């Protein structure tokens, strides 16, 4: 059980650090969007690569920030029954949800996207827009990054649920607090 606890804490620290780092991209995205608008409407200037860049940042924030969001229970869920139940019931729901839905879905995305990303890397693919961003293959790699962060957090959710079911109350949400991990 100590190994599971260590795993949960490690993954939580990693996804928390990644999420906090990616959050800074939101500021960059807002400032870049503001700059694009000022240049376009104030000075009649514009570049395709600048417009693509803030779209890329948006994709990176959502894809790489997904593990952080799952860590902090930020994903949308219909919890009419979940919220009113005790920690053991919630642990069972989290365990079964991660094992039957989250992890298989993540593996399917990784399996399907691998050839897509690999082909992009082999061609060193750039944007299809004239004057667009170079290195589109890097953006496509973010799909695999999503699979890594959400997959790690899904495995951590399984481990956390097993720990709660085994009686380790310190892993119940609100007890130790996910921020403290």
- Tens digits of residue pLDDT in 17-45: 999 999 999 999 999 999 999 999 999 99
CA distance 108 to 144: 11
Q: Give pLDDT tens digits for 55-114.
A: 999 999 999 999 999 998 887 766 777 777 888 988 998 999 999 999 999 999 999 999
For residue 148, the SS3 value is: helix
The pLDDT of residue 15 is above 90: yes
CA distance 101 to 36: 40
The pLDDT of residue 177 is above 60: no
- Copy the structure tokens of residue 124: 């060193």
pLDDT given for residue 170 in this prediction: 82
CA distance 161 to 130: 50
CA distance 28 to 173: 32
pLDDT given for residue 60 in this prediction: 96
pLDDT given for residue 83 in this prediction: 73
Domain ranges of the chain: 2-74+81-174
For residue 138, the SS3 value is: helix
Q: Is 45 left (phi over 0), alpha (psi -120 to 50) or beta?
A: beta
Task: Using the structure block, give the residue that is written with the tokens 């949400």.
Answer: 173
pLDDT given for residue 133 in this prediction: 92
């Amino acid at each position: 059980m100590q190994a599971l606890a260590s795993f949960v804490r490690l993954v939580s620290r990693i996804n928390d650090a990644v999420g906090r780092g990616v959050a800074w991209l939101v500021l960059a995205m807002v400032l870049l969007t503001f700059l694009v608008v000022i240049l376009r409407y104030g000075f009649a200037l514009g570049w395709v690569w600048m417009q693509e860049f803030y779209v890329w940042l948006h994709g990176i924030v959502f894809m790489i920030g997904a593990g952080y969001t799952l860590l902090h229970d930020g994903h949308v869920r219909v919890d009419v029954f979940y919220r009113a139940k005790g920690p053991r019931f919630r642990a069972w729901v989290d365990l079964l949800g991660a094992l039957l839905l989250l992890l298989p879905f993540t593996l399917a995305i990784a399996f399907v996207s691998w050839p897509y990303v690999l082909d992009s890397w082999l061609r060193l693919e750039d944007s299809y827009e004239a004057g667009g961003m170079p290195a589109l293959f890097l953006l496509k790699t973010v799909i695999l990054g999503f699979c890594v962060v959400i997959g790690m957090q899904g495995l951590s959710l399984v481990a956390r649920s097993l720990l709660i079911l085994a009686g380790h109350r310190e892993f119940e949400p609100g007890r130790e607090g996910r921020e403290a991990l």
